[in-house]
Structure 1
Amino acid sequence: MSLDGLAKDLTTQIIRHVLDSRFETIPKEAIERAKLSILDTLASAIGGSNDRIAHFARQLGAFSGGKAECTVWVSGEKLPACLAVLVNATTARALDFDETYELCINGCHASAYDVPPALALAERDSSITGRELLAAVATAIDLHVRLARSVTANSINTGRDNMVAVWGTTTVSTKLLRLDEEKTRNAFGIAYAHAAGEFQMYEEGAHTVSLQQGLRARSGLESALSAMVGFNGPREPFFGKYGFYKAFEPTYDLDLLVNKLGCNYVNDRMSFKPWPSCKCTHPGIDGLLQLREKHSFTGEDIVSIELGLNLLAESLVVQPRAQKWNPKDPVVARFSLPYVISVAQHGRVTIGDFRPEALKNPAVRRIMAATKIEVDPEIDRTHGLHQNSPTTVKVKLKGGVEHFIRIDKPFGHPENPASLADGMRKLKACAEMSMLPFSDKQLGLIGEFIDDLDKQPTLAPLFELLLGRK
């Protein structure tokens, strides 16, 4: 599909889709999946609240002060909406535990970008109903994912990572601010000025993996508010002469953006994360846990582990080898396949396994030293463009016994999906690591509120439930 002669029509189609999308017109599966996305984002933020990245984010929010509009989840400070969004979105990504879209060449952490501004606006305006919120979240994640998957150049090669995120957060903000067509279009144009995304943060294991999520969540809300007060922006931020696709991503597939837009909502294809590490590591974790469960061995029985995956995933979670076999920082550890597979020999991978002190665990270090990871030629031939690669796992035990498994779709994959009940189990596990305690009753009420979100006349009761007990 060419851009020639289509730019104006395509941009108008996108803007009108954002405006016209309503609870009644969105498929039930997309609405139900939006509930899990909201619950998952809250769980990830609660679990990440005691991470040092979350502490940095709260300190950053406190510097600016301003109108006390919206709640910082868990700790309870009140900040201007845009700052609260920055803090909450950064915290939700602090552990790399939030769900992602994996069915494209580049991953896309849409939910924890788009849910924080949605909830901030619902707290700011108590007239926003649960149905309105669900429609906005489903629409925003759908468009966010569509834009992400339309980019067909791999960010590992280009260094440009998920620049489209700002339009997901703009979508949810324009819908909940109830902007008209002209102001919505201006908001999308203004958001282009905020668009940014780089891959060097993954290369170095920098805190900006999380902070950039908060920055883009804030940017989407600021773009919508800027349009609301009267600013305009480029009318063709996507397809203009210097628009996004020509200036930044000239390799694209517009069918992946607009095909069945408004009919199929691809937010229901998000992948749930049962373990707090890069999704590329999950096939390996799932494989080792399955072998361990089936054959009843422990870490002490393991002589060696061999894994095979494609080159793309190998470049992200195996390289550079000196760093990935000796992670000294929790961010690096979450993107280290040898580390997480060595942790999984305990029979689980938890938030606590990424505490700085846990990185020195001698049992984990022993397994890491005995772990070999190489590119599997067959997987690379058949799944070479999949960043979250199928993974083979071969375990050799004392006595010479070997066990083997290949995992293509680990638990949480859209074809091996999680339920809202799985989201509740994750919420409870995350609450165990919260900076402030949550009672079982409180966690249950959060789950019930989200499950019944389509029946809620206001979101106001939720925000008290999101505060840890001091």
Structure 2
Amino acid sequence: MYYAEKLAEWLVHLKYEDIPADVVEKAKACIYDWVCITIYGADSPWSKALLDIVRETGGREESTILVHRDLLPCAHAAMVNAVMALSYDLSDTYPKVELHPSCSVIASALAVGEREDVTGADLITSVVGGYEVITRVAAAMNRRPESFTAVRGFEANSIFPPFGAVAGAGKLLNLKEEEMANAFGLAGGSMGAATIEYLLDGNWTYRWNSGRAALNGILNALMAKRGFVGPHAVFEGHWDDKGRYGVISALAGNMMYRDSLVEGLGDVWNIKEMAFKYYGCCHYNQGYLDGIVKLMKEYGFAAEDVEEITACVPHFALFLGVPREVKVKPKNLTIAQWSLPFVLATVLADGHLLDPREQLSDKRLTDPGMLKLTEKVKIERDRELDKTFMEEGIFKSPLKVRLKNGKDYEITSTCKGFSHNPLTEEETDHKFDALTSGVHNEEKRAQIKRELKNLEEIKSISALIRNW
């Protein structure tokens, strides 16, 4: 059997009852997180641009665009919701391969689930399946230090998400094994090749990646259900034993990790490793921001007391601080989210970064006080951090703070929201409230949170979504 066929066999036969209780809870946590970040991203400029297009296009009323409440064809609704979810970089993260699965996987599953009016348990099952597929596909070809996306400048979230989206959608469309294998093959043709140029110019492709994946994932699943044939050897190829014409060899250049596609399938659940952001910016910034918050709480200093901050970063994450002229004066929100100097200055001034839409607005980016504070942040390279990351899988975030009174403080935190520094239930609920309070009142938020925390008991996803 080809790898796509093995994945299809597992996914088609996956039942809610087969999923361990802790995996179910993690999937529910991913959906809970996705809902609040999607609501928060409803009015982003990139979301509204796509919303205008799908409104002009029209079509069958199948699935809901959150907040706006438009009913549109499920693929279009998923596309807009996915872009909304990635609007302010608050999405979940699969640390091993720098991936944000929820944006496209949950957007696709929820849209199809609403169209098919499935149960909450069905939705959870499809999300678990989607996460397992997308993380395994990514791990099969994009592990450090061989990570081809980092080496060649591709954006991982433009390449792998179609596989997770088609898995989630295909599961809820009840694809048969042959159809699901075809769908995976078609997803191979939907992989993107966007670059990480947005780090320097702030272009909108980063946001679009999730929307395109959700759109194509559903289309590929629908195509497969109608008999459209895709290559079953999409991953490994069948020309020779070197993987020629398969996507793994084509992109990664070797087949070293190909067995990651199916190893432990049904026993090892990658979704359990998902991390949740607490700050609206690149996940590599999270530990430094957590560190400055902890120091401020412990020693009671404020932004005006700080003389200088030094953050040590691994070589592979130098992009957080260079080119310095770009990072200390970011021209737009996207550049700011990948600027460690600016987000550190923001959290130093505000104590949080759960409203990036306002905190990283054009007005804030040109504020003289903020720019002066940003200049106080220095970035230093420490190659030992690369070694630690490779050996332990932990992104350590050393921070030194010198105050104007001559006192020095140091801390080494790790990425907030990751397995070694997880969010508490209180922090998770605070994030939900902070991101949705501009749309829903306290009573409505409490209702939505209650429904999501008991999602397996929901009998109609359509009724659930349309009541939000």
Q: TM-score, normalised by structure 1?
A: 0.92
Aligned to 1:243: 246
The structure 2 residue matched to 1:107, chosen from 72, 95, 98, is 98
Distance in 1 separating the partners of 2:161 and 2:170: 15
1:421 positional shift? 4.8
RMSD: 1.8
Q: Residue by residue, what CA displacement relative to the aligned partner does 1:244-279 show, whole Å, maximum 9, x if unpaired?
A: 112222244134332211111110111100111010
- Mean CA deviation greater in 238-247 or 415-424: 415-424
Q: Answer yes or no: is 1:160 the counterpart of 2:164.
A: no
What is the DSSP-based 3-state SS (H/G/I as helix, E as strand, rest coil) of the residue aligned with 2:43? coil
Aligned to 2:196: 200
Q: Answer yes or no: is 1:125 the counterpart of 2:91.
A: no
The structure 2 residue matched to 1:330, chosen from 333, 348, 361, is 333
Given the superposition, is the C-alpha separation of residues 166 and 74 from structure 1 closer, same or farther in structure 2, using an over 3 Å criterion? Answer: same
- Mean CA deviation greater in 10-19 or 446-455: 10-19
1:384 positional shift? 5.5
Aligned to 1:370: 376
Q: Answer yes or no: is 1:148 the counterpart of 2:144.
A: no
Aligned to 2:260: 256
- Unaligned ranges ≥5, structure 2: 238-243
Question: Percent same amino acid among aligned pairs?
Answer: 27
The structure 2 residue matched to 1:428, chosen from 418, 427, 433, is 433
Aligned to 1:172: 168
What is the DSSP-based 3-state SS (H/G/I as helix, E as strand, rest coil) of the residue aligned with 1:430? helix
Aligned to 1:229: 226
**1:299-378 aligned within 5 A:** 299-315=303-319, 317-346=320-349, 347-351=351-355, 352-378=358-384
Q: TM-score, normalised by structure 2?
A: 0.92
Q: Residue by residue, what CA displacement relative to the aligned partner does 1:363-413 show, whole Å, maximum 9, x if unpaired?
A: 321221111101113213332589983211100001110000011x33300
Is contact 1:82–1:221 with CA below 8 Å preserved after alignment?
yes
- Mean CA deviation greater in 358-367 or 319-328: 358-367
Is contact 1:30–1:266 with CA below 8 Å preserved after alignment?
no
How many pairs are equivalent? Answer: 451
1:146 positional shift? 1.7
Is contact 1:312–1:386 with CA below 8 Å preserved after alignment?
no
Distance in 2 separating the partners of 1:399 and 1:211: 47
Distance in 2 separating the partners of 1:177 and 1:419: 35
Distance in 2 separating the partners of 1:273 and 1:368: 22
Distance in 1 separating the partners of 2:467 and 2:427: 20
Distance in 2 separating the partners of 1:420 and 1:239: 42
Aligned to 1:5: none
Given the superposition, is the C-alpha separation of residues 47 and 416 from structure 1 closer, same or farther in structure 2, using an over 3 Å criterion? Answer: same
Q: Residue by residue, what CA displacement relative to the aligned partner does 1:146-195 show, whole Å, maximum 9, x if unpaired?
A: 22122233212122332121100010011000011111111111111111
1:360 positional shift? 2.1
Q: Residue by residue, what CA displacement relative to the aligned partner does 1:49-86 show, whole Å, maximum 9, x if unpaired?
A: 12212222212222321112111100111211111111
Given the superposition, is the C-alpha separation of residues 419 and 401 from structure 1 closer, same or farther in structure 2, using an over 3 Å criterion? Answer: closer
- Mean CA deviation greater in 287-296 or 161-170: 161-170
Distance in 2 separating the partners of 1:196 and 1:89: 16
Given the superposition, is the C-alpha separation of residues 287 and 419 from structure 1 closer, same or farther in structure 2, using an over 3 Å criterion? Answer: closer
Given the superposition, is the C-alpha separation of residues 439 and 465 from structure 1 closer, same or farther in structure 2, using an over 3 Å criterion? Answer: farther
Moved over 6 A (4+): 385-388
What is the DSSP-based 3-state SS (H/G/I as helix, E as strand, rest coil) of the residue aligned with 1:195? coil
The structure 2 residue matched to 1:449, chosen from 451, 454, 463, is 451
What is the DSSP-based 3-state SS (H/G/I as helix, E as strand, rest coil) of the residue aligned with 1:132? helix
Q: Answer yes or no: is 1:411 the counterpart of 2:401.
A: no
What is the DSSP-based 3-state SS (H/G/I as helix, E as strand, rest coil) of the residue aligned with 2:409? strand
The structure 2 residue matched to 1:14, chosen from 7, 14, 19, is 7
Distance in 1 separating the partners of 2:182 and 2:2: 16
Letter in 2 for 1:269: E
Distance in 2 separating the partners of 1:58 and 1:10: 37
- Unaligned ranges ≥5, structure 1: 1-7
1:420 positional shift? 5.3
What is the DSSP-based 3-state SS (H/G/I as helix, E as strand, rest coil) of the residue aligned with 1:303? strand
- Mean CA deviation greater in 290-299 or 356-365: 356-365
Is contact 2:115–2:462 with CA below 8 Å preserved after alignment?
no
What is the DSSP-based 3-state SS (H/G/I as helix, E as strand, rest coil) of the residue aligned with 1:268? helix
The structure 2 residue matched to 1:399, chosen from 396, 405, 409, is 405
